[in-house]
Amino acid sequence: MAHTERQNAGPDPRPATRVRPMFHRVLHADPQEVRRALTDLRARFAPAITADTLGRLELVLAEVMNNVAEHSATQGVGSGAMHLCIVMQDGGLSCAITDDGGKLPADCLKPRNLPAIDPLDLPEGGFGWFLIQGLTQSLCYYREDHRNCLAFTVPYQQLS
Amino acid sequence: MPKLIINETEAQMVVIVDEARIDAAIATRFKDRLREIVLRGRKPVQLDMRRVDFMDSSGLGAMIAVRKALPEALPLVLDGLTPNVERVFRLTRMDGVFDIRPVATQQE
């Protein structure tokens, strides 16, 4: 295909040379490897997005991957590995996390409130999915045979 | 072992959290160690959080467990929260439960 044809290939032609950071990792579902992946991911995206966006991205991915490490990968099924992929697109940072552990309970995806805050008996957990739902857009889940597939978008502010 | 630097005076105990991340990899040990420290001290605690650049919900859970371990009358001040750490407290409404002091330069 000639260069001019590619340029005119759609209603919104874009230069074919645009480079944006992506991140892909296959990791063992344990907290140390999650920490390592997040540290590397931070270095990858730091030049492209604001510190605020980076903090939100890192928090939501930590919550999702720690859930996989804590619940899905500990049920004695699957390889104990998970796949992480992040792509920076015009509409946001598109993230996908898949693993072959136990099925995600349907409850996790239902709209969440904060756990009841009783000052005399504060909740020590139950914040994870609330944070995930609050920090993401287009959160969706698909169970493909023996795999959990979770995808969502994190809106971003680009560094100028 | 989580790195916690303790400076104790008669009136209070200042604990510097010398860890960049309070996450699932460290939360349980962090909780156990800090709880042991504050329970031994039995005096107001100021937690210097300036060096903590990232905290997730397991880290928050550890903080809540430590707060619950202290007698209600004993203050626990979280000082120098970086924006990433402050965000977790704010989004979970725990900023109303804890006495938190974010660092001066806020990004949000």
Of the two residues A160 and B82, the one the predictor is more confident about is: B82
Give the pLDDT of residue B108.
46
* A22-154, CATH topology level: Heat Shock Protein 90 (3.30.565)
CA angle B60, B64, B65 (to 5 degrees): 115
Give the pLDDT of residue B12.
93
Give the DSSP H or E segment for A57.
helix A51-70
Chain A contact present for B91, CB below 8 A:
yes
**Mean pLDDT, residues A42-67:** 96
Give the pLDDT of residue A19.
85
- Which residue in chain A is spatially nearest to B22 when comparing CA positions? A35
Contacts of A152 (CB under 8 A, 6+ apart): A60, A94, A95, A132, A136, A137, A138, A139, A140
- Cβ-based contacts under 8 A for chains A and B: 73
* Domains of chain B listed by start with CATH number: 4-102 (3.30.750.24)
Question: Which single residue is written with the structure tokens 């006495």?
Answer: B99
Q: Which residues of B touch A119 (CB under 8 A)?
A: 97
Task: Please list, residue by residue across A96-130, b when 16 or more beta carbons sit within 10 angstroms of its beta carbon and e when fewer do.
Answer: ebbbbbbebeeebeeebeeeeeeeeebebeebbbb
- Which residue in chain A is spatially nearest to B61 when comparing CA positions? A124
Cα end-to-end span (Å), chain A: 33
pLDDT-derived band at A21 (thresholds 50, 70, 90) equals: very high
pLDDT-derived band at A8 (thresholds 50, 70, 90) equals: low
**Is A142's pLDDT higher than 80?**
yes
Tell me the per-residue pLDDT of B43-81, one tens digit each, with 9 for 90 and over.
999 999 999 999 999 999 999 999 999 988 899 999 999
Three-state secondary structure readout of chain B: CCCEEEEECCCCEEEEECCCEECCCCHHHHHHHHHHHHHHHCCCEEEECCCCCEECHHHHHHHHHHHHHCCCCCCEEEEEECHHHHHHHHHCCHHHCCEEEECCCCCC
Q: How far is B40 from chain A (nearest CA, A)?
A: 22
- Which residue in chain A is spatially nearest to B84 when comparing CA positions? A55
Chain A contact present for B6, CB below 8 A:
no
Domain boundaries, chain A: 22-154
Give the pLDDT of residue A94.
98
Tell me the per-residue pLDDT of B15-30, one tens digit each, with 9 for 90 and over.
999 999 999 999 999 9
